[in-house]
Structure 1
Amino acid sequence: MKKLFYIIAFIVSSTLFISCGIYGFTGGDVGDAKTIQVDYFQNQAQLIEPELSQQLTQELQDLFTRQTNLTLTSTNGDLYFSGEITSYRITPMSATSQQTAAQNRLTISVNVRYINKLDEKKNFEQQFSFYSDYPARQQLTGGVKETAFKEILERITQDIFNASVGKW
C-alpha cells in the first residue's frame, strides 16, 4: 500500500512540475519564442570538407526541434543562428618510437552568431570547437570520418544549445 502511495505521489508531482513549467526535461529555456531559424553554415576553413556544412546545419536544426517545442522556419525566426566553419585541421598528437605519428586529431571550429529577438541580452557571437582522435595508421575516410564527424558535431551542437537556451 505504501509503495502504491509513493508511485501515485511521484506521478502527480511530476505532472505538476512539467505542466507548471517549473522544470523541463530538456533543460532548454526558450522563453516565449515559437520559431527558430538556422542559416546554412558556410565552410570558410582553409581545408574544405564538402559535406561538413550541410551536416552541421542539419545537426543543429535537428537538436533544437528534438529538444524544444520550437518550429523551424527559413525566415524571421524568434531565435536565429548563423555562422561559419572557421577551422578544419588534422594534427599529429603522439609519436611512436620510430618517430612517426601514432595518433591524429581532427579539430573543427565554428563561429556562431545567436540572436534572440525577444530578449536581446541573450545575444552572442562565440567560437565553438571540438576534436576527435583516431589512429594515424588509418585514413580519415569512410567509417573513421563518419565516427569523428558524429562525435565532433554532437559535442559542438550541444555546446551551442547549452550556450543559447540551456539553463547552465
Structure 2
Amino acid sequence: MKKNYFILLFILIITSQACGVSVKYSFTGTNLDPRVKSVQIDYFPNNAVLVEPSLSQTFTTNFRDLFLTQANLDLVDSGGDLQFEGEITGYKINPMTATAEQTAAQNRLTITVNVRFYNNIVEDDNFERNFSHYYDYDADTQLIGSALDDAFEEIIERISQDIFNASVAKW
C-alpha cells in the first residue's frame, strides 16, 4: 500500500511541475506570453485608389471587436503590449466570369489591408504583412446597401481572423 502511495505521489509531483515555458494557451486559440495584458488597435485609414467612405471605420471597429471577444486583453488607446497599425491599401472590383455575349456574369470585390504588428513584450513576433480577401457577386447586382454590407461583413471577418491568427494564435 505504501509503495502505491509513493508512486501516486511521484506521478502527481511530476505532472504538476511547470515545464518553464512561459506561454499562455486559451480556449480562444491565443498563444501569448502571460505578461501580455493589453492591445492597442489604431484606426486603419483607407489609402486605396478607390475609397469606400465607411470601410475604414467598419474595418477598425470589427477588428477591435474581434479582439474583445476572442482574446482576454484590455483594449487601450496607447501603450498597448500588442499594437496594430496599418492602412487599407486595396479596394478593387474585377469581372470574374463572362457570359456568351462577352459581358461579366460575376464580379469580385477584393480588399487588401497592410498591417504592422508590434509585440512590445516579445519583439521577435513583430511583422508587417498584407492581408487580403474577396467577395464574389452577380454582375447585375449593385454593390450598395445590404449587398455592400454583406460583402464587407464576409471580407472583414476573414481578414480580421487572418490577422488575429498570424499575430496572437501564431498560425
The TM-score, its normalising length taken from structure 1, stands at: 0.85
Name the residue aligned to 2:62. Answer: 59
Name the residue aligned to 1:25. Answer: 27
Deviations 1:59-94 (A, max 9, x none): 111111101110000010000000000000000000
Deviations 1:130-152 (A, max 9, x none): 00000000110011111100000
User: Measured at CA, do residues 57 and 67 of structure 1 come closer, stay the same or move farther in structure 2, by a change above 3 Å?
Assistant: same
Give the number of equivalent residue pairs.
149
Name the residue aligned to 1:119. Answer: 122
User: Measured at CA, do residues 53 and 157 of structure 1 come closer, stay the same or move farther in structure 2, by a change above 3 Å?
Assistant: same
Structure 2: any 5+ residue segments left out of the alignment? 1-22
Shift of 1:22: 7.4
User: Measured at CA, do residues 23 and 118 of structure 1 come closer, stay the same or move farther in structure 2, by a change above 3 Å?
Assistant: closer
Asked if the contact 2:107–2:138 (Cα under 8 Å) also holds between the matched residues in 1, the reply is yes
Q: Which amino acid in the other structure matches residue 164 of structure 1?
A: S
Name the residue aligned to 1:70. Answer: 73
Shift of 1:30: 2.5
In the alignment, is residue 40 of structure 1 matched against residue 43 of structure 2? yes
CA RMSD in angstroms comes to 1.4
Asked if the contact 2:94–2:109 (Cα under 8 Å) also holds between the matched residues in 1, the reply is yes
User: Measured at CA, do residues 65 and 44 of structure 1 come closer, stay the same or move farther in structure 2, by a change above 3 Å?
Assistant: same
In the alignment, is residue 107 of structure 1 matched against residue 110 of structure 2? yes
Name the residue aligned to 2:10. Answer: none
Asked if the contact 1:42–1:83 (Cα under 8 Å) also holds between the matched residues in 2, the reply is yes
Shift of 1:25: 1.4
Q: Which runs of 4+ in 1 moved over 6 A?
A: none
SS in 2 for 1:165: helix
- Matches of 1:132 and 1:62, distance apart in 2: 21
Asked if the contact 2:56–2:88 (Cα under 8 Å) also holds between the matched residues in 1, the reply is yes
Greater Rg by CA: 2
Asked if the contact 1:41–1:53 (Cα under 8 Å) also holds between the matched residues in 2, the reply is yes
Report sequence identity in percent.
57
Q: Which amino acid in the other structure matches residue 138 of structure 1?
A: T
Structure 1: any 5+ residue segments left out of the alignment? 1-20
Shift of 1:167: 4.0
Asked if the contact 1:109–1:129 (Cα under 8 Å) also holds between the matched residues in 2, the reply is yes
